[in-house]
Structure 1
Amino acid sequence: MSERLDAWPELDHAELAPMVDYVNRISQVAGKYTLDYPFEAGWGNVVLEVTPRGLGTPVFRHPDVTFTVHYRLLDGDVVIETDKDERRLPLTGGSVAAFYQAFCDAAVELGMPRPRTSLICEIPDSPATFEDDRAERTWDPHAARLMWQAMNMASSGLEAWQAPFLGHRPRVGVMWGGFDLSATRHRAQPTTPPKDAPTFMQNAQLNAYVSVGFSFKNVPDRPSIGMYAYIWPQPDGLEGRSWGVDGATWEADAGLVLLPWDVLRRTEDPHQAIVMFGDAVYQAAIDTADWPSDLVGPRVDGWRASRTPASTLQHMHG
């Protein structure tokens, strides 16, 4: 038990909240570039990858410059890399406004466009723009490492859950608006978003989907860290179901299935528990919302298959 708990660290909401809030804001700066690219169902085009050292954007290919931005949480800096040169911006202190100015200055020097908007989105009670956010921030290396470690471990489980799905499934990654790690499965079933929903939700909810993910702030106005899931549109019949892992519960008021981090890390195999949690949510979609069961293929061991005589023979003659 002690080895497992050491591997899956204890996460304290109060300790991590200031850093989560800071990284959420600055990650939106480079995240804005993803909005210039073709829209994928459920905003699959915008996610930031969980890298070996932090969070990375996709590669952006402009006519005059190709670039990527890497928020290196384990190093306390942001690396902007282009086909011509690179710049490193330290995150040792300062404000969001100061970071945004430094980022834009570096972008101009590297021949990149500035982000087309500086609006801060999906953060309640936030200043309107990056330029307006002048509160002084403190970089906490320990909190940054815990954040990365949690997202890295959750990513591994979510990627394993997604692997056998045969339908549209954007890559697992961080939605930089709400700052949640997301894995979604989509089906071609047009839906009607609520008319009073913000534009980004109107676009996200054009078709049915199942979402499973990890968040440092699962429920608004309630300290909570862990896995979440929901089915859009929300079907009836979710009360009283089993969600694959003891301690996972349906929270009707939030419209979410929740698996708290502290419960997850105490399971016998947290990685497999994420897969079981996701499978239970998808089974609920099958049972209550007529999702097709044949969109999920078998889970196979590719490495074992690659060592069979038939595979070896085929490789030799290929």
Structure 2
Amino acid sequence: MSVNAQAWPALPYTDWKDSCATLHLWTQVVGKIRLVQTPWVNHSWHVPLYVTARGLTTSPVPYKSSAFQIDFDFVDHVLWLRTSEGHYRQIMLMPMTVADFYGNVLVDLKLLGIEVAIDTMPNEIPDAIPFPQDTAHYAYDPQAANAFWRILLSTHLVMSHFRTSFLGKVSPVHFFWGSFDLAVTRFSGRKAPPHPGGVPNLPDAVAREAYSHEVSSAGFWPGGGGMIEEPAFYSYAYPAPDGFSEAKVRPAAAYFHKTLGEFILPYEAVRTASNPEQTLMDFLQSTYDAAADLGTWDRNALECAPGMPRRPRPV
């Protein structure tokens, strides 16, 4: 297997859509546990999961005078629940209903001395089923889950490098379990008009707080929802400046999706490129350039040269 195939594996959405839907809901169960235990951070930065060398993690979650952490391991296919006192529980990742997954997680947390209560209605999913009643989603394909994580990891590395060339406010590279995507967001520093809301099963107040300031945001999404039935990278600006949809961006395979209001780069165009990392970086940079130039961002004040290992940024 080539290096590219290991880092950027094939993952046709139609081949794992049932497992994708189940895993999406499992991450929501875990993410909501972090949500209820963590003080609110601007733009909902207290709720995402983070990419690890083996999967996804909540990072340490406060509980009374201690902490716990929940990790998806997509190498050994285990959900780890660990406490700062050194105790742990494991749940094997295998085909099981969302209802069973939800129940198993809460039972194991209770066995660790942790009692939490979450809103059981999934977010950002139309026609959602509350977790305790969801026996419709139960698929889990370990090979596909591992491939999905490897794509997230490779994307995370490129986005993390892209992030280094911005001096202004910029988000971590984080995984939003509501929309099931890995994202990084840059901010102009100026306030934005109120977001219209209307996201399925998401309070409008949350959407408005998330988009309180102008952004250029990009990420990776595995596909689905009837809009794009393939994995893809995306980039958008909020609010979108005049002329944004007509901007020339790289690579040639990228296009503007009028319904979504975003630039889209099919994952296959990255995976099959001779240099996938540079292809993705070109997309991130050129779409940001369009947002920043057309939106008249103060680029001289907000940007710097990309970071280098062991080399302090010159000032």
TM-score (norm 1): 0.89
- Alpha-carbon offset, residue 195 of structure 1: 4.1
Paired with 2:56 and 2:3, the residues of 1 have a C-alpha distance of 27
CA contact (8 A) 1:29 1:115 kept: no
Which is higher, the Rg of structure 1 or of structure 2? 1
For residues 218 and 297 of structure 1, do their structure 2 counterparts lie closer, same or farther at Cα, with a shift above 3 Å needed?
Answer: farther
Aligned to 1:9: 9
For residues 296 and 90 of structure 1, do their structure 2 counterparts lie closer, same or farther at Cα, with a shift above 3 Å needed?
Answer: same
CA contact (8 A) 1:168 1:186 kept: yes
Paired with 2:223 and 2:145, the residues of 1 have a C-alpha distance of 16
- Counterpart of 1:104, as a letter, is L
Paired with 1:103 and 1:174, the residues of 2 have a C-alpha distance of 20
- Alpha-carbon offset, residue 288 of structure 1: 1.1
Aligned to 2:89: 87
Paired with 1:62 and 1:205, the residues of 2 have a C-alpha distance of 29
CA contact (8 A) 1:190 1:208 kept: yes
- Alpha-carbon offset, residue 220 of structure 1: 4.1
CA contact (8 A) 2:174 2:183 kept: yes
Paired with 2:278 and 2:131, the residues of 1 have a C-alpha distance of 39
Instruction: Spell out the pairing of 1:205-244 with structure 2 (5 A cutoff).
Output: 205-217=211-223, 220-244=226-250
For residues 16 and 204 of structure 1, do their structure 2 counterparts lie closer, same or farther at Cα, with a shift above 3 Å needed?
Answer: same
Paired with 1:224 and 1:51, the residues of 2 have a C-alpha distance of 24
Paired with 1:247 and 1:97, the residues of 2 have a C-alpha distance of 40
Paired with 2:186 and 2:51, the residues of 1 have a C-alpha distance of 19
Query: RMSD between aligned alpha carbons?
Result: 2.1
Q: Say yes or no: does 1:96 pair with 2:75.
A: no
For residues 142 and 296 of structure 1, do their structure 2 counterparts lie closer, same or farther at Cα, with a shift above 3 Å needed?
Answer: same
Aligned to 1:179: 180
Paired with 2:89 and 2:24, the residues of 1 have a C-alpha distance of 21
CA contact (8 A) 1:76 1:139 kept: no
CA contact (8 A) 1:218 1:228 kept: no
CA contact (8 A) 2:24 2:180 kept: yes
SS of 2:132's equivalent in the other structure is coil
Paired with 2:39 and 2:191, the residues of 1 have a C-alpha distance of 19
- Percentage identity across paired residues of the two chains: 26
- Alpha-carbon offset, residue 39 of structure 1: 2.8
Paired with 1:284 and 1:223, the residues of 2 have a C-alpha distance of 26
Paired with 1:136 and 1:233, the residues of 2 have a C-alpha distance of 36
CA contact (8 A) 2:18 2:137 kept: no
- Counterpart of 1:78, as a letter, is L
Q: Count how many residue pairs are aligned between Structure 1 and Structure 2.
A: 304
- Counterpart of 1:189, as a letter, is R
- Alpha-carbon offset, residue 242 of structure 1: 2.0
Aligned to 1:313: none
- Counterpart of 1:162, as a letter, is R
CA contact (8 A) 1:16 1:147 kept: no
Aligned to 1:57: 58
1:256-301 deviation digits (Å, cap 9, x = unpaired): 1011011112223111222221111121122211112121111243
Q: Say yes or no: does 1:153 pair with 2:165.
A: no
CA contact (8 A) 1:95 1:137 kept: yes
CA contact (8 A) 1:53 1:72 kept: yes
- Alpha-carbon offset, residue 14 of structure 1: 0.6
Aligned to 2:27: 27
SS of 1:213's equivalent in the other structure is strand
For residues 117 and 235 of structure 1, do their structure 2 counterparts lie closer, same or farther at Cα, with a shift above 3 Å needed?
Answer: same
Aligned to 1:268: 274
SS of 2:109's equivalent in the other structure is helix
Q: Say yes or no: does 1:299 pair with 2:306.
A: yes
Paired with 2:207 and 2:226, the residues of 1 have a C-alpha distance of 17
TM-score (norm 2): 0.90
- Alpha-carbon offset, residue 116 of structure 1: 2.8
Q: Say yes or no: does 1:284 pair with 2:264.
A: no
- Alpha-carbon offset, residue 3 of structure 1: 5.3
- Counterpart of 1:56, as a letter, is T
Paired with 1:244 and 1:136, the residues of 2 have a C-alpha distance of 38
